[in-house]
Amino acid sequence: MRIFISADMEGATGVTSIAQCDSRRPEYAFGCRMQQRDVLAAVRGALDGGADEVIVNDAHSHMTNLDIGEWPKGARLTSGSPKTLGMMEGFDECDGIFFLCYHAMAGTRCAVLDHTIDPNVVYSVKLNGLEVGEIGINAAAASGKKIPVALVTGDDAACCEARALWGDTAVTAAVKKARGRLAATCLGPEETYKIIYDAAIKAAQLVRGKKAPVLDFAPSWIAEIAFLKTAQCDVAATLPFVERLDGRRVRFGGSDSVEMRRCVSAVLDLAGTAPF
C-alpha cells in the first residue's frame, strides 16, 4: 500500500503568521521545522499503520521546504516546482491521500492564514456551484481516480471544512484553534506529534480496509474563479477555454477532474502575472 501526502505549511503546528511561511523572512525557519515535524509524524504513522511506502509532495510555495535527511526508510520526497499537478503531483500513483498542514479556504471566518492557492490572486473558487478551497479542489482531483482522502491536518477551521465535505467519515487532526486570521491557541509539538501520528495510523488502516472516503464529485465539472483584481481577470480571459463573466469572474469546464486541477493551476498562474 502506498500513501500520498500533500504537505502545505500554513496549517502546521504553531504557525500563525505570514512571515513563518515566507522563505524571505527569518521566521521561515520555524515554519519549516514545524512542517517537518508534522509531516514526519504522519509518515511514521502511515508506515506503522500498514503502508509500504509514503510519497510526500512538498506543496507549499516554491515546494522546497522539507528536509529529507531525517526521514525513515520507506518515505520518499517530491520536491521543487513547477509540477504538472502542483500540490497533487504523484497522487495518482498511490492508494490513499493525506493532506498535511492545510488551511481553510479564502474568506473563512476565524481561520489561520485562510486563502485559496494564491492569496494575492484568488477571492473565491467554485466547483459545480460549491465554494471550495485547496482541500476541496485537491480532493475533487483525487476523486477522478477514485482515490480517498483519508486524513486532513491543520487548524480547527481546516478540519471543519474537511468534515463539511466528507461528514463523519473524515479523519482530521487539529493542531491549533484559530482566534483570527493571524492568531491561534496552539498545542505544543510533542502533543501534536502524537495526535497526528495516531490519526495517520487510523487513516492508513482505513485505506487498507478500503473504508476511507472518496469525495462525491461528478466527472463533468464547471469551475468559476473570482479574482481580487480586474487585471487578473483580463489576463485569465485570454485563455481560449475561459469564459469571462464580469469584471472579476471567469468560468471554464471539462469532463476530467484531474484535468480540472491542471486547468485551475494554469488559469491562476497566468492571472498571477498581471500587474496591479
Tens digits of residue pLDDT in 45-69: 999 999 999 999 999 999 999 999 9
Pairing of strands 96-102, 149-155: parallel
pLDDT of residue 199: 99
Q: CA quadruple 121, 122, 128, 129: dihedral positive or negative?
A: negative
Q: Which of 130, 131, 133 is closest to 119 using CA atoms?
A: 133
Q: Is the pLDDT of residue 170 over 90?
A: no
CA gap 276, 270 in Å, rounded: 14
Residue ranges per structural domain of the chain: 2-105+135-208
Q: Is the overall model pTM greater than 0.85, yes or no?
A: yes
pLDDT digits (tens, 9 = 90+) for 87-129: 999 999 999 999 999 999 999 999 999 999 999 999 999 999 9
Q: Is the pLDDT of residue 168 over 90?
A: no
Q: At what angle do helices 189-208 and 28-48 cross, to 10 degrees?
A: 40
H helix intervals, 67-215: 134-143, 156-166, 189-208
CA gap 29, 34 in Å, rounded: 9
Domain 2-105+135-208: CATH superfamily is: Dipeptide transport protein (3.40.50.10780)
Degrees (nearest 5) of the Cα angle 101, 16, 41?
Answer: 30
pLDDT digits (tens, 9 = 90+) for 217-237: 988 999 999 999 999 999 999
What's the mean pLDDT in 155-174?
96
CA gap 139, 149 in Å, rounded: 7
CA gap 207, 2 in Å, rounded: 9
In the chain, DSSP assigns E strands to 2-7, 53-58, 75-78, 96-102, 122-127, 130-132, 149-155, 172-180, 183-186, 221-227, 243-244, 249-254
CA gap 4, 88 in Å, rounded: 9
